[in-house]
Amino acid sequence: MRKLRLRKKRVLLFIVLPALLISIGITLAFMFKSSETVENIFFPAKVECKVTEVFDGTQKSSIAIKNTGNTDAYLRLRFVSCWVNGNGDIVGKESEPVQLSFSPDWTALGDNTYMYNSPVAPDEATANLLTSPLVLKKDTYLGEPVYQAVEIFAEGIQSKPADAVKQAWGVDIE
């Protein structure tokens, strides 16, 4: 009887021990299994823009903005005017707001700022802002001739989500 019990224990040991070792090996294999590396390519939105203009020295006849970023964007222009002397140095004469006729594709936001009404795709440009040329003025200041200088600054903001424009510029997009 004792031999029978010993034999049962040995058989049990020879069956259970390998099964236990195999299950531990399989468990460790699954734990340390490595998968192939997957490259996740993600390009963040980049909003950049550039002013394009035609200027002959006395008037600007075409002003637009090109979207040089990689996502659709709303674009706007801001005009800053000052008076300069013949050397291009700013003089103390008070600046005048820029007076221009603009296209219905644009909306005046106030403070010499104009926003294009539609989002602009990457590598595309807005329509011309002007419906007639912007003629720069000449005047005198302290007996010296001075010339109106107008700098144009462009800004852009991603078009999606639409409330980004409202949060940043306070403009409702319809």
pLDDT tens profile 103-161: 999 999 988 999 999 999 999 999 999 998 888 888 888 889 999 888 999 999 998 88
Per this entry, what is the length of the chain? 174
Give mean pLDDT, residues 69-88: 92
Taking 90 as the threshold, does the pLDDT of residue 26 lie above it? no
Q: What are 27-76's pLDDT values in tens digits?
A: 877 777 766 777 888 878 889 999 999 988 888 889 999 999 999 999 99
User: If residue 152 lies in a helix (H) or strand (E), which one and from where to where?
Assistant: strand 144-158
Nearest to 145 by CA among 71, 91, 67: 91
Phi, psi torsion values for 8, nearest 5 degrees: -65, -40
Q: Please give the pLDDT value at position 33.
A: 74
Global pTM reads 0.72
Structure tokens at 26: 């399989």
Half-sphere exposure of 131 (CA within 13 A, CB side): 8
Q: Please give the pLDDT value at position 72.
A: 94
C-alpha of 39 from chain center: 24
| Better-predicted residue by pLDDT, 110 or 11 | 110
Taking 70 as the threshold, does the pLDDT of residue 1 lie above it? no
